[in-house]
């Protein structure tokens, strides 16, 4: 990478890969939880993630690039951690709390990436990508807020 545009395209490929990886991983996470509100929130976010992939494809098109992913070691590690927690936590309350924490780590990663991409798009003069990345960023922030609310009001209290 030599330019901001190079960094933008690299990171866009990174998040595209990450969203696809999450689409594959979330069904197993959903199966691992039985707390109704947490399960519902994860199902809703899975559907939202699928829509985000479509939005990312629009962003790739807006910058004249083919939508392709590039392996994201960070998301691979976060998913591996979540899978490990689900396998290791034998207590229902501990499992729900630990999985919720892992999901929030994933949201925080996505918030950081989408916030960066949004500002790079603005700096590069791509208003369409800036707006679309802002929409995804808002969705990720809302998902994190939902998880925080669930942790505070239901999961941690159990």
pLDDT of 156 strictly over 90: no
Q: What is the dihedral of CA 96, 99, 102, 107, to 10 degrees?
A: -80
Measured CA to CA, the distance from residue 78 to residue 105 in angstroms comes to 7
pLDDT mean over 80-91: 92
CA distance 32 to 83: 9
Q: Please give the domain boundaries of the chain with CATH numbers for all domains.
A: 4-155 (1.20.1260.10)
The mean pLDDT of 40-61, rounded to a whole number, is 97
Residue with tokens 């707006």: 131
Q: What is the pTM of this model?
A: 0.94
126-130 mean pLDDT: 97
Cα 52–Cα 80–Cα 32 angle in degrees, nearest 5: 80
Q: Is residue 54's pLDDT more than 80?
A: yes
Is 77's pLDDT higher than 80?
A: yes
For 9, left (φ over 0), alpha (ψ -120 to 50), or beta? alpha
d(CA 91, CA 37): 18
- The confidence band for 4, taking pLDDT boundaries of 50, 70 and 90, is very high
């Amino acid at each position: 990478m030599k330019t901001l545009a190079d960094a933008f395209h690299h990171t866009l490929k990174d998040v595209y890969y990450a969203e696809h990886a999450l689409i594959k991983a979330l069904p197993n996470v959903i199966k691992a939880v039985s707390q109704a509100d947490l399960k519902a929130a994860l199902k809703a976010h899975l559907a939202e993630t699928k829509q985000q992939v479509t939005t990312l494809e629009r962003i790739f098109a807006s910058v004249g690039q083919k939508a392709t992913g590039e392996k994201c070691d960070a998301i691979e590690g976060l998913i591996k951690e979540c899978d490990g927690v689900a396998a290791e936590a034998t207590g229902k309350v501990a499992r729900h709390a630990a999985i919720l924490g892992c999901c929030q780590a994933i949201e925080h990663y996505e918030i950081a990436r989408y916030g960066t991409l949004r500002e790079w798009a603005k700096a590069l003069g791509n208003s369409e990508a800036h707006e679309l990345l802002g929409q995804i960023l808002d969705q990720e922030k809302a998902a994190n807020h939902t998880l925080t609310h669930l942790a505070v009001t239901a999961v941690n209290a159990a």
